């Protein structure tokens, strides 16, 4: 069965016993999580977050910079006042540089001007060290004029081999 | 107890029975999910996705445009070849315009030039209709020079009141 078919079938089972249809839009814990898209990350289970409690922003690496638009919406329109940011061990962002990835993309489509133009617009936001990148991202949020001053911001690493989190900022 | 303390305590319980530390970095189902940060969304349970199977990108609204950097990394470095994009009912993105939110932010810090400058850099990527926005985002990905041509791309809505997904693209 295709992934598409699997998703539809598994969702039908989920919906048949769904009982949480009355939850409000604003997160009940006033919390925003920022973390990586990595397939081994599952914030609800790993952090004990129940449905309706927190916004969860995920992108390659768990970049605070890319999360900014969502953080502003989360705080200004939906009342969140705490941010917990996670990067994790064995992250793909540790394995390449933006220049290398631009090279891979351009080599895949030689002479394609649209591909070259579009990829040159991107910064892939990679990092060489997860603790440092967590600290940098926490500082980015703390210092940013659009993030509310009263926000409690913490930074953590998640170990994909042990399932453990460690606070580093 | 603070949210921070709660997360640490709940993670300790999770880690104490964690048995999936050997999963590889590339997603086993070669699948990328794009969906909203909304607190009522929980892709693993709602779509039946197990740890290690899929990249999950989440931002305010489930914007494909903002997800592009992550999609390129997901496809070019980690081998995903299918994208399922979800927007959902009762989404915060239906409730405001970028101009309104810029106004709210500026009014919160009258005369603060840094706040005005930074917020004017942002497009909040709101939308007035979730089916149309799913179709637009699927088309954006299908037409984008950096998204691999062989990618299977589908678009869905999720109903936060019933727990059901519906394919719309």
Q: What is the pLDDT of residues B47-83, one digit of tens each?
A: 999 999 999 999 999 999 999 999 999 999 999 999 9
DSSP state of B147: S
- Contact criterion met (CB below 8 Å) for B164 and B157: no
What's the burial of A122, exposed, middle or buried (CB within 10 Å: 0-12/13-18/19+)?
middle
Ranking A5-9, A18-22, A60-64, B96-100 by mean pLDDT, the lowest is: A5-9
CATH superfamily of B26-167: Carbonic anhydrase (3.40.1050.10)
Residues of B in contact with A53 (CB under 8 A): 39
In this complex, is the C-beta atom of A166 within 8 Å of any C-beta atom belonging to chain B? no
Angstrom distance (rounded) from CA A80 to CA A78: 6
Nearest CA in chain B to A20: B161
**pLDDT value at residue B5:** 85
Residues 6+ apart with CB under 8 A from A103: none
Domain range annotation of chain B: 26-167
Q: Give me the interface pTM, i.e. the ipTM.
A: 0.98
Angstrom distance (rounded) from CA A55 to CA A154: 15
pLDDT, mean of residues A121-131 = 98
Position A5 pLDDT exceeds 90? no
Question: Which residues of chain A from 27 to 56 reach within 8 Å of chain B, CB to CB?
Answer: 27-32, 37-42, 44-49, 51-56
């Amino acid at each position: 069965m295709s992934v598409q078919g699997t998703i539809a079938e598994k969702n039908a089972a989920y919906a048949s016993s769904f009982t949480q249809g009355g939850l409000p839009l604003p997160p009940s814990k006033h919390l925003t999580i920022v973390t990586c898209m990595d397939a081994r990350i599952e914030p609800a289970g790993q952090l004990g977050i129940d449905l309706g409690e927190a916004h969860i922003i995920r992108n390659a690496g768990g970049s605070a910079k890319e999360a900014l638009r969502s953080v502003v919406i989360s705080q200004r329109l939906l009342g969140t006042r705490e941010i917990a940011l996670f990067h994790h061990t064995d992250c793909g962002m540790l394995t390449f540089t933006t220049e290398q990835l631009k090279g891979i993309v351009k080599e895949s489509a030689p002479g394609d001007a649209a591909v070259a133009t579009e990829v040159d617009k991107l910064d892939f936001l990679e990092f060489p060290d997860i603790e440092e990148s967590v600290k940098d991202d926490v500082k980015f949020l703390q210092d940013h004029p659009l993030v509310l001053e009263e926000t409690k911001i913490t930074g953590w690493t998640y170990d994909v081999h042990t399932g453990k989190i460690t606070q580093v900022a």
